[in-house]
Structure 1
Amino acid sequence: MHEFSLCEGIIKQVLKQKTILPEDIVSINIAIGELAGVDIDSLQFWFPVVAAKFQLADVKLKIDIIPARVICKSCNTEFHLQKLFDPCPVCSAYANYDFLSGRELLVKSVSAK
């Protein structure tokens, strides 16, 4: 159900933009980090339901996945983190890293007629 409220937030954010009329919106393009804690299937399921609630039933949701990139605080190695708390591939330190990408959820663009 978390994804339902995310869909509401995405649509409300888009509707705040006064440069485009709601009836002209064709698609909303977002980017989600692969470790952002968002269930993509659930988000795609709920989006049409929420869009219809805002009279945007024909609007499509396009999703790009941002890979999780981190830098190890122990050895300064930058690597792709596939699962939260995986060890560094160089020094084997666990969960001792800073995220560079992969935890965000961004509205990238809105396509209109």
Structure 2
Amino acid sequence: MHELSIATAIIERADEMARADGTDSVAAVTVRVGELAGVVPDALGFAFEVARDGTALAGARLHVEQVPAQAWCGPCAEEFAVGMPPFFWCPRCDRPSTELRSGRELEITAIEPAPAPA
């Protein structure tokens, strides 16, 4: 399950980013995961819960934004869903596409700091 190594990397990077902003703990992390990134969102969520223990993200939530795979057909200017398994054939002009516009993302897009103790 490579999601555990991905979750660990997300936690390490989010911790670095939070500390750079002067925050000691994190309440939530938002990540964008493309349909073709090879990551199972539920498995990533479970791995995140396991890997966060004992870190500055111990109580943090993981929000996963799923990004559908979209391809572009230059000859007819059509953007279309690639689907799973991926199919790069334009449904409009019946030609193969060579340009993937989205679907491979795996990035942290937001870190929510934990509220300061009262």
Same fold (TM over 0.5): yes
Name 2:55's counterpart in structure 1: 54
Name 2:70's counterpart in structure 1: 69
Name 1:8's counterpart in structure 2: 8
Cα deviation code 1:58-111 (max 9, x no counterpart) = 1100111112111135644321111213532123345x3211111111100111
C-alpha separation in 2, matches of 1:7 and 1:40: 11
Instruction: Give the share of equivalent positions with the same residue, in percent.
Output: 32
Contact 1:8–1:50 (CA under 8 A) maintained in structure 2: yes
C-alpha separation in 2, matches of 1:20 and 1:59: 17
Rate the CA distance shift 1:72–1:90 in 2: closer, same or farther, 3 A: same
- Specify the code of the residue in structure 2 equivalent to 1:103: R
Q: State which drifts further: 66-75 or 6-15.
A: 66-75
C-alpha separation in 1, matches of 2:7 and 2:100: 24
C-alpha separation in 1, matches of 2:40 and 2:101: 21
* RMSD, matched Cα: 1.8
TM-score, structure 2 normalization: 0.81
C-alpha separation in 2, matches of 1:54 and 1:11: 8
Alignment of 1:1-113 (within 5 A): 1-17=1-17, 18-23=20-25, 25-72=26-73, 75-83=76-84, 84-94=86-96, 96-112=97-113, 113=115
Structure 1: gaps of 5 or more residues: none
Shift of 1:55: 4.8
